[in-house]
Amino acid sequence: MLATNKIVALDTRSLRYGGLDYRGLFTQFGDFVEYDGTSPSEVLSRCAGATTVLTNKVKLGADELANLPDCRLVVVLATGVNVVDLVTARARDIAVANVKGYATDSVAQYVMAAMLHPANQLAAHAADVAAGNWSSSWCRQIALTIGLHGKTLGIIGYGDIGQQVGRIATAFGMRILLGKLPGRSYEVPQASGSAEPKRVTLGELAKQSDFVTLHCPLNPGTEKLVNDAFFARMKPGAILINTGRGGLVDEEALARAIRARTIQHAVLDVLSVEPPPADHPLLADDLLTSGRLTITGHYAWTTPEARLRLAREAAENIAAFLRGEKRNRVD
């Protein structure tokens, strides 16, 4: 067990946004130092002497872990742990823990907003009124709207977030379909009266869905899952939403689909490279001004409630480790 504890957090800019107060959760364990962000060249100097390292997106690879002799615990401030070299962590007896479920409600809320954004056209109608155009009649409509009731929502990835999205969409009167992921077995027959929505092939989901939302992990089997073939099967009026990982979508294919009006709209909170370079294929002027593509900067998870839950869960991981217990361990 650690006699003393120095905790270093490498990238807490997003966690701290808006003055969120969480420092006491970590100072109770010892010295706590945090940074807005950390470059690869700064990792070793900033983590020197640290027994616990917190990271969100800063990578702790084999070289970094091999040169942090005091480090006994890494807590990833996220669910995905691809930023940590787990093989080296195990070899050096460094415990690694993550945080799950902290942003379920936050991301599900974003998904509903992403559906309502193109469905209700609030921004366009508000801008039209602000421009002084509501003078000709009592009802001023400049864009077609969509009623969610009775529409089909295809959910690809049915973990905590996918299930919460399904529950909310059902309350809107939507029909839910689940996509069968590559490499997964779905041979167990669905029990009579089961509450789980119907599972269909991805091709059938694309064909039937008015909205498609992505919540599956990114791995070799799901990379570019939504591609030219998928878009070709989608309804011309369909809307794609991605809050999972940018790599789930073939972004070049999406650009083609938007330009060809193969789909109605795409709302993305994630891209394959973050932050994206200026020449990213989806940041082309004609796409961003088309009214058919909405991109936000990976913020769906960032409600204050979700961020505080993340900090609390990370602190509980540290407390459990200090008690000699395993909690949310992935090593």
At 7, list the tokens. Answer: 């905790």
Cα 282 from Cα 97, distance rounded (Å): 34
The helix or strand, by DSSP H or E, that contains position 154, with its residue range, turns out to be: strand 152-156
- Which amino acid would we find at residue 77? L
Pick the catalytic residue from 298, 312, 327, 329: 298
Report which DSSP code applies to 84: B
Instruction: Give yes or no: 245 in active site.
Output: yes
How many other C-beta atoms lie within 10 A of the C-beta of residue 106? 22
At 74, list the tokens. Answer: 């890494």
Do residues 328 and 313 touch, judged by C-beta distance below 8 A? yes
Peptide bond just before 275 cis, omega within 30 deg: yes
Pick the catalytic residue from 42, 196, 252, 274: 274
Range list of β-strands (E), the chain: 6-9, 31-34, 52-55, 73-76, 95-97, 152-156, 175-179, 198-200, 211-214, 239-242, 265-268, 293-295
Cα 173 from Cα 119, distance rounded (Å): 14
Pick the catalytic residue from 46, 72, 245, 307: 245
Cα 312 from Cα 46, distance rounded (Å): 23
Cα 245 from Cα 182, distance rounded (Å): 16
Q: Would you call 96 exposed, middle or buried from its count of C-beta atoms within 10 A (0-12, 13-18, 19+)? A: buried
Instruction: Give yes or no: 274 in active site.
Output: yes
Instruction: Give yes or no: 298 in active site.
Output: yes
**Catalytic annotation, residues:** 245, 274, 298
